[in-house]
Amino acid sequence: MSAYKLLINGEMVDGDLTMDVVNPATEEKLADCPRASESQLNAAVAAAKAAFPTWSKTAIDERKAVVLKIADVVEANAAELAQLLTKEQGKPLEDATTEVYGMAAFCRYFTSLDLPVEVLEDSEGRRVEVHRNPLGVVGAIVPWNFPLILMAFKLPPALIAGNTLVIKPAPTTPLSTLRIAELIQDVAPAGVINFITDANDLGAPMTAHPDVRKISFTGSTETGAKVMAGAAGLLKRITLELGGNDAGIVLDDVNPKEAAQKLFDSAFQNSGQVCIAMKRLYVHENIYDEVCDELASIANDTIIGDGLEQGTKLGPLNNKMQYDKVKALIEDAKKEGNVIAGGEFPDKPGYFIRPTIVRDIKEGSRLVDEEQFGPVLPVMSFADESEAIERANASAWGLGGSVWSANPERAYALAEQMDTGTVWINKHAELDPTIPFGGAKMSGLGNELGQEGLQEFTQQKIINMAKG
């Protein structure tokens, strides 16, 4: 019997099935984990549906109080949760601790928002109001790269808006999520928050379930397309935060030594396993060699290892499937470009890949055209700004992008031309709960975070009343 349990209708229950969770730093079994059956998914949805009428009519301040209590519980158990997150995900303990506290902070931010009635018109002839009503049961599907902070993109706004939830973490990182489920078991009324797990087999039935009124999904574009197709039959609401192939453009007035560490961190945070990580870097030919050399130097000095070991900067990739994919991309890149740092796979247990810099590579190679989601960065040169923009925009994805320059006005002019949901100037991959976030093109639909992120969990309702 597993020490971890599912949370369904206020009760901690065993899964009808079990699965192993592996420590990616050692490749050793970390824990037995409950795995829900489809009947348990149905039970969780039924519990959420039964809880919805009362929860949706609960005063918003009371709903906020529940979310604040969740934040308090997460923060009070931060040390334990961070240790568990590092063991199952691989990231350094300092980064895991930041993620845990980040989850609490995001929960608190959403409690500062409201859903007031907006009056569009109040004239002699009519009064028109905009109301924001809850949808019903929300299915939240969370990926393995940031299992806690990305859950905080979904859980707080869904609850505050008056919805009930079924949360499904990724099969490789379910433990910290299930531990939170245990800690908050009694925080909300039974059925309001339910936690199930799977082996990537319950996403489709959850998406197609007739009693799930919205799916909030974070993950790959390929899976996002399946979610969209599954939701189409019932025209249910969806929010999709999907893959990216973010480009950074470095102009010729940038100081390579000053910018290199920021560029490196933009690409290699969480070993590159970040949807908005910089995944392609375009550098003006005048400073190309120097930027490449600086990045290679940083990469060679970076300590990789078990996230629990002191001094580790980058941990392993989270799972063998992703590890094998990134290895294949690097082997292909060795034929297409010049590997000037990394490209090595340590001969020891764990899904470790040294941070890899590839120069003299072009579009048409897999590393440039695909989303690597790992610790490898292609660096390409350009001659003029119009060329850089054209190449940066020539991607099916459009999640984020950045422009780097000593001249803010010059950078801003290019930022306006980038075809992405977010553009940063002289930084990359910054997320703030107050700022809406969403992708362009094949990087997603809808928004998360900010007031817009809260409204995504509501149905707009217009009341148009005649007067006189």
H/E segment holding residue 67:
helix 60-76
Burial-class residue 87 by CB neighbours within 10 Å (0-12, 13-18, 19+).
buried
Compute the CA torsion angle 27, 29, 30, 36 (nearest 10 deg).
120
The DSSP letter of residue 18 is E
Strands of 278-284's sheet in order across: 338-341, 356-359, 376-382, 278-284, 246-250, 400-404, 422-425
Tokens of 210: 């007739």
**Planar angle of CA 163, 433, 59, nearest 5 degrees:** 30
User: What pLDDT is stored for residue 2 in this prediction?
Assistant: 67
Active-site option among 275, 294, 371, 448: 275
Residue burial 254-279, b: 16+ Cβ < 10 Å; e: rest: bebeebbeebbbbbbbbbbbbbbbbb
Partner residues linked to 403 by β-bridges: 249, 425
Report yes or no: 153 and 176 within 8 Å, Cβ to Cβ.
no
Catalytic (active site) residue 241: yes
User: What pLDDT is stored for residue 1 in this prediction?
Assistant: 46
Q: What is the rounded distance in angstroms from the CA atom of residue 261 to the CA atom of residue 161?
A: 40
User: What pLDDT is stored for residue 208 in this prediction?
Assistant: 97
Q: What is the rounded distance in angstroms from the CA atom of residue 77 to the CA atom of residue 86?
A: 14
Q: What is the pLDDT of residues 23-65, one digit of tens each?
A: 999 999 999 999 999 999 999 999 999 999 999 999 999 999 9
Residue type, 169: P
Closest CA to 253 of 280, 281, 291, 295: 291
Closest CA to 251 of 370, 126, 388, 140: 388
Closest CA to 216 of 184, 188, 239, 233: 239
Residues of the chain under the 70 pLDDT cut: 1-2
Active-site option among 241, 294, 371, 448: 241
User: What pLDDT is stored for residue 304 in this prediction?
Assistant: 97
Domains of the chain and any CATH numbers: 6-242+443-466 (3.40.605.10), 246-432 (3.40.309.10)
29 contact partners, CB below 8 Å, separation of at least 6? 20, 21, 22, 23
Q: Judge if pTM exceeds 0.95.
A: yes
Residue type, 362: K
